[in-house]
Structure 1
């Protein structure tokens, strides 16, 4: 019996992720959305690429959570975009409501699944998914660090003229302005970037990484990034489905690691078939630790707004 993955939200991130998952051909995929007929149409379109690309994935579009029953992984991408006149707190509360409702349905039909939260503000939404689901922390993850790190690696590779595969880096902290790109630990083919790039230029790249999402939003005019975010979720799903035990920066619920308690924050984590298998604690210098604490405090503010 083939395994099953559900993607909640058939917008740009969700539908692009479904396409990528279908092409992996290791599980059938359900795409849920509240908009009538829209996920059905997108699912049919993706399915019809199968004969060309050679995948046999069954892709189901639906407006009924009952069709998601028995999912191994559920990815939550649905959310409310920030509109003119909305405060950050308004957005948090609106998406808290959406993610809470989605999580209730997810638990009802797939009580043994692993949840990956993508909805923004990411860390806070993962926190509400954990609370509503009642799942152990191993089975609720947030995708942010993979994306932020991918952006950082892209900019470094462009700067030095190297393959992105040769660039190793980590971005920790919350998904937002307070994220912590660890430039000190970034290497290109094992060579520290401090030997390849000037300190001033490194700082510019760090800031561009922090502004990565906003830069794309500005260029697009309407909408936001979805190619890189969907690819980042795919890497997490790969590690779970294939039990790769990859170590990647994810939003995970910390219980004392890095001196942070009962809060979702992006840190290096080993991801396998059971979800979170290990939090990797790397030694931070005082400045990095201070930045990570500041980032965690920003997440705490959002959690406080949600009243949990």
Structure 2
């Protein structure tokens, strides 16, 4: 993430804080040695006090996801980590925007929102921004069309209950069925299921093959940071607090939202079909149940 932000020239100063101080210092040194190839950026390792008055604080710390583990399996391990990080961040950067990437991102963003006491607009999760890019990539492969010209979203949990918004997916204004009948003619009855499953399981495949995901998620985070620092009013499926939208309340999940300098400006309620809306509400229910179990376990411990 630090590399992606540095390479794009988005920040004038990046501070890396890690419980492993040697690793943080090594990363800062390695990045800094590329100074002559990028726009001027001060990169250093430090303590929480060195992050004072940050515009954005990106939280990526957490227990790694192991092969066979779902993101929701990580809740209790990472709850304690958030409890140690967030108060320190709030202490030194009370006006910052908090961007949570640690998994399970939706539940941990909600927890961060509660611990921080920040307004909901300034507590954001990476949500399904990466999942949406994966979806566009897989559709682009199938249709042989630039991924940037495919308009669609993955919504809900960044995890197993996420939904693909097929009803509003379009290429050049044509819905998928029409585009396929005109230009593709290789869309059998399983194509939607297969692509959705491939998107959902993408991280598991990468974790099994190389241990963790690195690059695409860094680009997704960079895209969110870019929208904030440049006040773009971009629509991204970040994880945000729902307060009645889509018939869902009091949970963070990935939905299309307008993102700018103040954080989240508005949630955009996309016109989902009945089946998709029901699936999105079920996704919210899954997240709420996981959050409640984590909170009960934390109180007992």
- Check whether TM > 0.5: yes
Q: Are residue 78 (structure 1) and residue 61 (structure 2) matched?
A: yes
Query: CA separation in 2, counterparts of 1:24 and 1:87?
Result: 32
Query: 23, 35, 50: which is aligned to 2:35?
Result: 50
1:170-189 correspondence to structure 2 within 5 Å: 170-189=153-172
Deviation of 1:169 after TM superposition, in Å, equals 1.0
Offset at 1:185?
1.4
Residues 167, 273 of structure 2: 8 Å contact kept? no
Partner of 2:207: 217
For the pair 1:206 / 2:196, whether they are aligned, the reply is: yes
- Which residue of the partner structure matches residue 13 of structure 1? none
Gaps of 5+ in 2: 181-186, 297-301
Deviation at 1:84, TM superposition (A): 8.3
Verify: 1:41 aligned to 2:31, yes or no: no
Residue of structure 1 equivalent to 2:291: 303
**Counterpart-to-counterpart distance in 2, 1:278 and 1:123:** 18
Pair 1:190-2:180 in alignment: no
Distance in 2 between residues matched to 1:307 and 1:41, nearest whole Å: 36
State the TM-score, normalizing by the size of structure 2: 0.91
Structure 1 runs not aligned, ≥5 long: 1-16
Q: What is the SS of the residue equivalent to 1:270?
A: strand
Offset of residue 24 of structure 1: 2.4
Q: Does 1:291 align with 2:282?
A: no
Q: Distance in 1 between matches of 2:252 and 2:163?
A: 15
**Deviation of 1:171 (Å):** 0.7
Per the TM alignment, residue 290 of structure 1 is displaced from its structure 2 partner at its CA by: 0.7
Shift of 1:56: 0.8
Q: Deviations over 1:226-251 (max 9, x none)?
A: 11111101111000000001001111
Match of 2:10 in 1: 26
3-state DSSP of counterpart to 1:307: helix
TM-score under structure 1 length normalisation: 0.89
- Is the 2:168–2:272 Cα contact (8 Å) retained in structure 1? no
Verify the 8 A CA contact 2:17 2:45 in the aligned structure 1: yes
* Bigger mean CA offset, 86-95 vs 155-164: 86-95
Structure 2 residue corresponding to 1:136, chosen from 108, 119, 128: 119
Aligned to 1:6: none
Structure 1 residues 25 and 160: alpha-carbon distance in aligned structure 2, compared to 1, 3 A threshold:
same
Distance in 2 separating the partners of 1:257 and 1:269 = 11
Contact 1:89 1:305 in 2 (8 A): no
Within the candidate set 139, 151, 156, 2:134 is matched to 151
- 1:75 and 1:118 in contact (8 A); partners too: yes
Number of residue pairs matched by the alignment: 288
* 1:146-205 deviation digits (Å, cap 9, x = unpaired): 101000000000011111111111111011110011122112233222231344212210
Deviation at 1:25, TM superposition (A): 2.2
SS in 1 for 2:254: strand
Q: State the superposition RMSD in angstroms.
A: 1.8
2:99 aligned with 1:116? yes
